[in-house]
Amino acid sequence: MKISQIKDFFISIEVIPPLRGHSADNLYKAIDKIMPYNPAFISVTKHPPELEYYEIDGQILKLPKVKRPGTMGIVAALKMRYNVDVVPHLTCIGNSKFELEELLIDLDFLGIDNVFVIRGDKKKNVIKKEWQYDYAYQLVQQISDMNKGKYLYQTAKKTNFCIGVAGYPEKHYESPNLKTDIKYLKRKIEAGAQFVITQMFFDVEKYFNFVKLLRDEEINVKVIPGLKPILSYKSALKIPGTFYVDIPEELIEKLDNARTPKEEFWTGVKYTIKLIEKLKENNVPGIHFFTMSNTDAIVEILKHI
């Protein structure tokens, strides 16, 4: 089902593929715990290849390596295993537009209804492909064209993808300000994006303010709040530097005052439940959980909501 057409409140989760050489069994075990709560969809992250040095036959070679391969394999496996809508992340960085066209044709064969488009992080050692897009709106436009039967270099039937993009209640770290960031988001919507999943946030007012600013700009698509429970004081200190978001003083103090890891865990769970209660009171379309493929805290939250 297209995410843009879901009418009732829903929950959904994001998972990451296992590290290279690892089994998907732990991922399945984590998702098994969530399935009794009927997630509307599961999104799967994509990781571009990065250049690393290897010694092979006495030579030092710089070769591409994907640390978390198998996104498309995981997408197919989850769809067949759980009979649930699965949403693959599509990244501009690390893919040429021609590779993306072939990938989208394969996803159409698989019966994938929804895709999530991001530019991807600009890391020094990530390989830049020829014919690679610089901005997410360009890939959104390509998918929109495919939905109309317009391909880059081949003839095929029309696709029917519902396209999602990322939104940043506290702005993307590269944007000079929130207003400019919303201008970039509007460009993605105008190119054909039909829903937004936000970056994680820990203050509901930032989400409400963000949605108001979008509506003022006549951006009227679903804006799905993305949440990640913070389960330790240590992780609370790391998250701002990794995801460029603020942690409220109230949460930091509660985590700092917790005497055991178990108390920290429950502090994070209870804080997230309160966030969700406030969001539901304001009729959000659903809640999207960033799980990092660990769903124990999410299950405890879902028991209460």
Residue-wise pLDDT tens digits, 57-100: 777 766 666 777 778 899 999 999 999 999 999 999 989 999 99
Ranges under pLDDT 70 in the chain: 49-53, 61-65, 123-127
How high is the pLDDT of residue 51? 63
- Which residues are registered as beta bridge partners of 227? 289
pLDDT digit string, tens, across residues 148-178: 999 998 888 999 999 999 999 999 999 999 9
Please state the domain count of the chain: 1
Let me know: does 100 contact 147? Beta carbons within 8 Å: no
CA of residue 238 relative to chain centroid, distance: 19
Strand ranges, E, within the chain: 10-15, 41-44, 50-56, 59-65, 85-91, 114-118, 162-167, 195-200, 222-227, 286-290
Residue 71: exposure state from Cβ atoms within 10 A (0-12, 13-18, ≥19): buried
- Say what the pLDDT of residue 66 is: 75
C-alpha span between 218 and 213 (Å, rounded): 9
CATH number, residue 294: 3.20.20.220
Q: What is the dihedral of CA 206, 211, 213, 215, to 10 degrees?
A: -170
Alpha helical stretches, state H, 35-89: 71-82
Q: Which residues are catalytic?
A: 14
The Cα 33–Cα 301 span in angstroms is 12
- Residues 12 and 40 sit within 8 Å (Cβ to Cβ): yes
List the alpha helices (DSSP H) in 192-259.
204-216, 233-243, 249-257
The CA-based diameter of the chain, rounded to the nearest angstrom, is: 64
Q: Which domain covers residue 255, as residue numbers?
A: 3-304
